[in-house]
Amino acid sequence: MTRESNERIVLAAGLRLPQARAGGAYAGEDTGHLGATLARELLARTAIDAGRLDEVIVGCVGPPHDQANVARVIALRAGVPRHVPAQTVARNCASGMQAVSAAVARIEAGRGDLFLCMGVEVMSAYPLIFNSRAVGFFAGLAKARSLGARLGAMARFRPAMLAPRIALVEGLTDPTNGLIMGKTAENLARDFALGREASDAYAVRSHERARDARERGRIATELVPHLPLAAKGRRPNTVSLDHDDGVRDDQSMQALGKLRPYFEKPDGVVTVGNACGITDGATALIVTTESRAHELGLEPLAAIRGHAWAGCDPARMGLGPVYSSAKALDEAGCTVADMGAIEINEAFAVQVLACQHAFASDEFARKELGRDRALGAIDDARLNPNGGAIAIGHPVGATGARLLLTLAHELRAGDHELGLATLCIGGGQGGAFVLERIAS
Amino acid sequence: MIHLTGLPEPEGAPAPGACVRIERPEPGLAIVYLDPPHRPKLAAFDVALLRDLDAAIDELAGDASLTGLVITGREPLSFAAGADVETIAKISDNELAGRFVREGQKLYQRIAALGKTSGGRVTTIAAVGGPVPGGACELALACDRIVFADDPKSRIGLPEVLLGIYPAWGGSQRLPRRIGVPAALGSILTGKLHRPKAALRMGLVDRLAHPAYLIRIASDIALGRMQCPYRGRRGWRALLIDKNPLAGAVIAHMARKDVLAKTKGHYPAPLAVLPLVVRAPRVSIEAGLELEAQNVLPLTSSPVASNLIQIFLGSEQAKKLSRIASGPDGELVDARKIERAAVIGAGVMGGGIAGLMAEKGLSVRLRDLDRKQLDAALAEQMTVIGKKRKQRRLEPHLADAAIDRLEITTEAVGFARCELAIEAVAEKLAVKRAVLSELAGMMAPDAILATNTSSLSVDAIAEGVPSPERVVGMHFFNPVRRMPLVEIVRGSATSDDVVARIAKLAVDLGKTPVITKDVAGFLVNRLLGPYLDEAIRLVESGVDPHEIDAALVRFGMPMGPCELIDEVGLDIASHAGASLAAAYGDRMRASRYLEPLIEAGQLGKKTGSGLFLWRGERGGKQKNAGRNPALSSRGGLSLGEDELVDRCVLALVNEAIRALDEEVVAGPAELDLGVIFGTGFAPFRGGPLRYADARGCDEIIGRLQALRGARDVVASGARLERFAPAELLIRTASEQGSFHPRT
C-alpha cells in the first residue's frame, strides 16, 4: 500500500519551548518531562486523538542514561496510548530534522500518515563520566569480598581518578579526526579567508534580529512558555520562561572584541561570542498528509517540497548545508533564487559565512558539487531573518526541528512561496528541507 | 460448632456450605477459600460465612491425614473485609452482640488450636492480600504463619477503633503477642492499615509473595517444603518489655496520655482496649479472650460506636452514587470515567482541584488569564508532589506523572478533548456564565460543565448555556486535598448521567459525594452560616473568642468557630453570609460586627489578624497569639459553656432540620454525613440530626425557646427567627418521632 503520489506531506502544526542557556532555566529539567510537556500542549492544541498517531519520533543526541529510548518515555508521559510506538532517532545536530525525515519516508512508503515528530535536548543534564582508571577502581572494590581484599582495593585509590571525562566536550569532538567542532570552523575560516571582524559582525546581527523578532511578536507565535522543573531537592521554580534567554539585547562589536579565541589560541576566529551557545530546548511538529490534516481540522503551516541528506569532509563539516541543499533543491525542482527565506543553522558565525560564500561560488560548485554554476548567492536579508543559534542557542537534538518550525512560520510572516532550512552536522554531513507555503 | 442462631442473616445469603470451598490439591494439604457468592466484590464475616467456615474447620479437624492448611480468599487480592459492619449495625440486643463476639472468638480459637503454634498437628498458613482489615486480620493472626501478597493494593491492620469498637476476635490479644506491646498499641489505637513492606518489617506478617505465587508459596510452607521463619517477637525484647509489668505500666501511662490528647476523651474505644493490649503477653489466651469479650460489649452498645458505624455505612453508600442504571434490564454499573478534564481559574481552589486530579490520574488542562497564577499553581503541585515523593508516599514514576499531567495555559485553546470542565473563577454570575459559554463553544456538545460555586445558583449560572442538562455544581471545600466532602449540586435540568459521572469523579479523587438541591449555600455553607454568625454575635456581646472556641472544641468540633472564620477569611465569610441573608431573609442576617476589620484589611490568617492575631509564617502553620485588640465589644456577657455550645450548635441543628424538611439532600443519613465530612462536626455525635435525636426533640425545642428569649438575642432582633423551632422539629416532637429511624 503506497500513498497517492500527488499528495503533499505537510507540517500540520508545530510548537516549541523557549530555549534556555545550559545550566540556566532548565538546569533541573528532565528530558522526558520537557518533551512530554511540549507534546501534551501540541496534542491539546491540535485536538488530535493521540491514539491515532502512527508513531512518535523524537530526535535527541544525548538521551539521559535512564531514558535510552527517550521517545517512548516522552510519548507515555505525554499520555499517548501505549499501542502507539515510539522511536528515538539520532543524526547529531540534525536529530530533530531526522525525526521529520523519518516520518516523510514512512508516509512515502505508505506506512502511516500521522506522526508526532520532535527534537529534544537537555544539554544541562549531560553527565560527567568517571575515567577508566576510576571505573577499574570501583570494579575492583565491588569484587573484593574479604576485609583484607577491600582494604587492598581501597588502597589503590589515586586522586587522578577524580578527574572526570566531560560528556559534552567528548560529544562535540569528532572521534574519526579528533577535531572538536570549533576547530572544524577554524578550518573554514582559513579556507575562505574569513576574519574575526566579519564573524563578530555576523554574531551581532544574529542577536539584533532575534531581539527584533521577539519585540515584534514574531517569536511568540511559535513558542509556549514553560515552567521548568527545579533540580531534585530544590524548591520548585515559580516563574515560567517565556522567551529564548540566550538573546543579548545589547550585544556589540566591542563586547565581542574582548573575547579570546576559544579553540585556537591566540590567532583563531571562533570565540564563545560568535559561536552558538550550549542550550536546552524542544520543538514538536505534526507531520502528515495534506488531506489528513484537513480531516483533522488543521490548517497546515507548510508543505514539504523536498529534502536531502549529504556527506562531506568531516574536518569541514560546516559546509554540509551546501552539499545537502544542492540535492534538496534539485529534488524540489527549484533554485536558491526561488527561496524567500533561508535558515542556515548558526553553529558558528564563520561557518554560516563560509556556506554563504560556497553557495555563491562557481569554483566550489565545480570542484565539490560537480556542477557548472554556483547554486546561487544568498543575500543577507533572506538569510536567518529572525537571527539564529548564535543568539537563541543550539540544543543539538532539537535544532533541526526548530529550523523547520521557524521557517514554516516565516513563510507566512514574510509572505514567501518557498524557503530552505538547512544545517551542518558533526561528522561531516548536511541536511536540507525545502518548504512551500500552503494557500489558505 | 459455634452457635449463631438469632443473629441477623445477610441479604441474599446462599444455602449452607456455599460460602467456603475446600480444595485438596495434594495429599496432606487442604486449601480453604473464602468465596461467599452473595458478596461478589469482597467477602465479609457475616453469619453465613462464619457458619460455613466453622463447618469447614470441623471437617478438617477430623481429618487425620492433614498436615498443612492454607486459608485464603477467592483471589489473591480479595480476602475479606473483616466482620460485617452491617451485621454489627443490625444487632441491638446486648446478648446477641455478646454471642457475635464470643462465637467469632471461638471459631478463631478452633483454627488456632489446629496449628502447630498451639500444639496442634497442622501447619496453618494465612495466604492473604488486598485489604485485610479487622476480623480478616484477626483470622490471619490465628494461623501459624501469615503470607501477604506484595501489591500496592495490599493493606493489613486492625481499624476497629475508627468505628468506636476494638478488635475482639482475638486481635487485642494476638497482635501484641506477635509484634510486641508498643507496636501493637501504635497499630490498634490508631487503626492504621499497614502496607506490605511495613507489615513485614514490624513482624505482623512473616513473608511477602507476589500475588500470582501466593497460593503456591503458602502451600510449600504448609507442607514443609519451604522454610518460613516466624517474624513475630521473641526473646529478650518480649521478656524485657512485653512481659515486664513495670514497662507495661509506663507504656500504658504514656499511651493513655497520648490518646486523651488526641480524642479529648470523646472516644472510649482506645481507652478500653489499651489495658487489654498491655496485659496480653502476661495472661493466658483464654483469660485474655474473656477480658476482650467482656470489655467490648459496653462499647458495641454505645452511641459513639453506633454513630461511627452509621457514618461508615453512609460513606460506603455515598460511593454508590457513582452507579447508574444501564441497559434494558436497568443493571447498575459504574458511570463512565472521566479521563481528561479542564479547570478554569488557577486560584487556591482551581489549582488545588487541578492538582488533585492530576495526581489521581486525570489529564488536566488548567487555564487562567494570569500566567503568575498558573505558575504558582504548578509550583504548588511540584511542592506537594515533591513532598510525597520524598516521604515515599508516591513512587517516583507516579510523582513524575502527577506533574506531567497538569497542563497550564493562558489561552482559549486545547479544550476540545476535555470531557469535563470545572470553573473556579470569581464568584460573579456574569463571569461564570461567560466562562461556561466560552467552554461550551470549545468543547464537545456533551462535555460536562461544572461550577465550583459556593454561593451562586447553579440554575442561574446554567442560564443561556447550550444543553443545560450537562451543567452541574461540583463544590469542593478548602483546602481541596484535605477536605473529604464534595457537594454535587443538581440543577433543575442536570441529567442523572451527569450527576453519576461527577459522583464517580469525586470517588476517584478520594472524596465522599453528597447530592444537594440548588439552594443558597447548598447544604454545608447554609448550615455553617448561622453557626458562625452566632459565634460572631457572642464575641460582639463580649464573650472572649478563646472561650467560645474552647467550648466547641470540647463539644467535638475540630476547630472553634472563631478560628474557622479566621481560616476561611473574614471577607469570604461575610460574602457568604450576605448571600445567605439574601436568600433566606432575617434568620440568616449576619452581624455587621466584623465590617470594620474587613475594611481595615484584617481578613484572618491570610493577613495575620482577624478575630485573633496570628503569628508565624504565612501559608505555613500559624500560632494563635491572642485576641485582636481591634475588636471592641459592647459589654461583658458571660455565659456557661453549655450555653455557648447550644447557641452555636442549635442554630446549626435547627437549620439542618429545615434543610431536611426542604429535602436539600436525600435524607437524614446524607445530611449528617455531609455535615460531618464538610465541617468536621463531631463525628462521635453522628451529625446534627443524630445529635438532635440523642437530646430529644422536646429538649431541643425547649432550649431553642429559651435562647429565643435571651436578652441579647431579643435585642438583636434577627435571631428570633433563627431560634424559632423548625416546623419539622415541632411536627416530629408532636409525633414522638425522631429524624433517624430508631433502632
Are both B586 and B490 inside the same structural domain? Answer: no
Are both B569 and B623 inside the same structural domain? Answer: yes
B734, burial (CB in 10 Å: exposed 0-12, middle 13-18, buried 19+) = exposed
Catalytic residue among B475, B546, B575, B740: B475
In this predicted model, what pLDDT tens digit does every residue of B540-554 receive, in sequence order? 888 989 999 999 999
B contacts of A240 (beta carbons < 8 Å) = 371, 374-375
User: Which of these ranges, A360-364, B46-50, B107-111, B566-570, has the smallest mean pLDDT?
Assistant: B566-570
**Cβ atoms B381, B360 nearer than 8 A:** no
If one compares B5 and B341, the residue with the highest pLDDT of the two is: B341
Any domain includes B589 = yes
| CB atoms near residue B195 (< 10 Å) | 18
**Three-state secondary structure string covering B241-253:** HHCCHHHHHHHHH
**ipTM tops the 0.85 cut:** yes
Domain final residue pick, B279, B301, B323: B301
Query: What is the reported pLDDT for B743?
Result: 62
**What is the domain-level CATH number for residue B536?**
1.10.1040.50
Q: Which residues 47-86 on chain A approach chain B with CB closer than 8 angstroms? A: 47, 49, 77-79
**Is a pLDDT exceeding 90 seen at residue B164?**
yes
User: Among A45, A238, A242, whose Cβ lies nearest the Cβ of B414?
Assistant: A45
Mutate to test the interface with B, among A33, A42, A45 (most CBs of B within 10 A): A45
Mutate to test the interface with B, among A17, A30, A38, A41 (most CBs of B within 10 A): A41
What's the number of CA atoms in the CB half-sphere (13 Å) around residue A91?
Answer: 25
Instruction: Give catalytic residues of A, as residue numbers.
Output: 93, 394, 424
> Packing angle between helix B268-279 and helix B303-319, nearest 10 degrees?
110
- The residues near B128 (Cβ < 8 Å, ≥ 6 apart) are B72, B73, B79, B136, B140, B146, B147, B148, B149, B156
User: Among B363, B383, B416, whose Cβ lies nearest the Cβ of A79?
Assistant: B363
Query: What is the reported pLDDT for B620?
Result: 55
CB contact under 8 A, A237 and B379: yes
Tally the domains of chain B. 3
Distance in Å, alpha carbon of B377 to nearest chain A alpha carbon: 9
Query: What is the reported pLDDT for B241?
Result: 83
**Cβ atoms B128, B149 nearer than 8 A:** yes
Q: Which residue of A has its CA nearest to B381?
A: A236
**What is the domain-level CATH number for residue B470?**
3.40.50.720
B contacts of A225 (beta carbons < 8 Å) = 371
Are both B436 and B288 inside the same structural domain? Answer: no
Residue ranges with strand state E in B57-111:
68-73, 80-83
Are both B340 and B270 inside the same structural domain? Answer: no
Q: Which three cell numbers stand for residue A396?
A: 543539538
Give residue for cell 473485609.
B81
Any domain includes B716 = yes
The answer to whether A172 contacts chain B (CB < 8 Å) is no
Domain final residue pick, B452, B480, B511: B511
Question: Range of B343's domain?
Answer: 335-511
User: Which of these ranges, A13-27, A146-160, A321-335, has the smallest mean pLDDT?
Assistant: A146-160
B contacts of A47 (beta carbons < 8 Å) = 414, 416-417
Are both B56 and B149 inside the same structural domain? Answer: yes
User: Which of these ranges, B333-347, B350-364, B714-728, has the smallest mean pLDDT?
Assistant: B714-728
Any domain includes B14 = no
Any domain includes B308 = no
Strand, coil or helix: B23:
strand
pLDDT band at B74 (very low <50, low <70, confident <90, very high): very high
Distance in Å, alpha carbon of A233 to nearest chain B alpha carbon: 8
Distance in Å, alpha carbon of A341 to nearest chain B alpha carbon: 29
Q: What is the mean pLDDT of residues B23-39?
A: 96
pLDDT band at A2 (very low <50, low <70, confident <90, very high): very low
CB contact under 8 A, A41 and B416: no
**Is a pLDDT exceeding 70 seen at residue A1?**
no
* Chain mean pLDDT for chain A: 94
CB contact under 8 A, A32 and B383: no
Are both B159 and B270 inside the same structural domain? Answer: yes
Any domain includes B328 = no
**Is a pLDDT exceeding 60 seen at residue A4?**
no
B contacts of A242 (beta carbons < 8 Å) = 371
In this predicted model, what pLDDT tens digit does every residue of B494-525 receive, in sequence order? 999 999 999 999 999 999 999 999 999 999 99
If one compares B54 and B5, the residue with the highest pLDDT of the two is: B54
User: How many Å apart are CA A51 and CA B352, to the nearest integer?
Assistant: 29
In this predicted model, what pLDDT tens digit does every residue of B288-304 receive, in sequence order? 999 999 999 999 989 99
If one compares B286 and A439, the residue with the highest pLDDT of the two is: B286
Are both B477 and B580 inside the same structural domain? Answer: no
Domain final residue pick, B487, B511, B535: B511
